[in-house]
Amino acid sequence: MDGHTDYNPENTARPRLLGKLVPNRSRDTDPRSGLETWSVAFSPDGSYFAWSQGHGIVKLMPWPLADGDEIQKNTNQKKQHIKAGGREKSGSRDKTIDCGQTVWSLAFGVSSAVNGHRGMGSSGQERSSHFPDQTLLLATGLANGEIKLWDVPTARFLFHLKGHRAVVRSLAFSPSGSLILVSGSRDKTLHVWDLKQDGKLLRVLTGHSHWVYCCSLSPDANVLCSVGGGRTVLLWNMLSYELIRRLDGHEGDVVSCDFSPDGAMLVTASYDTQAIVWDPHSG
């Protein structure tokens, strides 16, 4: 095919381990369990890295790591361990968040400017919906079905969203800066929240007959993909909140999905050991 080059593994750079982030085991935690890493995320601008360390703890780390904490390039290929759960160094921007529940999902969102007002959110808390332009937020999805929102630079708790009845397994912010947040849960539903309207629940999407494992928004924020148990891949219109189509092809539970940066392709991964590349516009 003209303009097409066949893939040759010999022509690609091999991935290399740069280092490891290792949680600090304190005397207050059980060393036998509870340090599971369920989720990691980079902020959209790459300035922060979030890491769920188990025991309901999330570590917020500035990225690249500050001098003295950075992952060194090792010419001798030795593994570099970074203690990310110890005391914060003087001047360090590292923050530790205690969510109180196992953290199953993480997502960063960036706001665009909006006129603020005060109101009652879904949790009954009075708060301001005013987020200055480029405010960086972190959403954490918890084992009890709650979603907690945090201000990233200060690690300050802002508010929580209630509505799911089981583990919040996936979170996705709109890429547009509108602070629309989509959450997928083991309760077989997807919730669409508007954080600029005091965390208002805009819609509950139903269509999954098994757990929702993952959700992802297209770069233009117009299409939502959700995947889950029972070989399910669903595409949703985010303007009308209607189901566009179901994509059939997997032979096992579908556990991950993501759009290409230009929105032209959608990739889904499954326990059937396959990753399928779709045209999201035609299926």
Number of domains in the chain: 2
Residue 27 confidence (pLDDT)? 52
Cα dihedral 96, 99, 101, 107, rounded to 10, equals -90
User: Which of 174, 196, 228 delimits the end of a domain?
Assistant: 174
Residue 119 confidence (pLDDT)? 34
Domain check: are 242 and 159 in the same one?
no
Residue 198 confidence (pLDDT)? 84
Is residue 74 in some structural domain?
no
CA distance 24 to 35: 10
Domain check: are 61 and 136 in the same one?
yes
Residue 35 confidence (pLDDT)? 63
Q: Which parts of the chain register pLDDT below 70?
A: 1-12, 23-35, 65-93, 113-130
Is residue 78 in some structural domain?
no
Q: How far is CA 245 from CA 60, 173, 242, 281, in A?
A: 37, 22, 9, 10
Domain check: are 161 and 265 in the same one?
no
Domain check: are 141 and 237 in the same one?
no
Is residue 262 in some structural domain?
yes
Domain check: are 58 and 139 in the same one?
yes
Is residue 264 in some structural domain?
yes
With beta carbons less than 8 A apart as the criterion, state whether 213 and 184 touch.
Answer: yes
Residue 63 confidence (pLDDT)? 86
Is residue 188 in some structural domain?
no
pTM of the full structure? 0.81
Please state, as a whole number, how many other Cβ atoms lie within 10 Å of the Cβ of residue 127: 16
CA distance 188 to 234: 12
Domain that holds residue 61: 32-65+93-111+130-174
Residue 15 confidence (pLDDT)? 79
Q: What angle do CA 103, 229, 146 make, to 5 degrees?
A: 25
Is residue 22 in some structural domain?
no
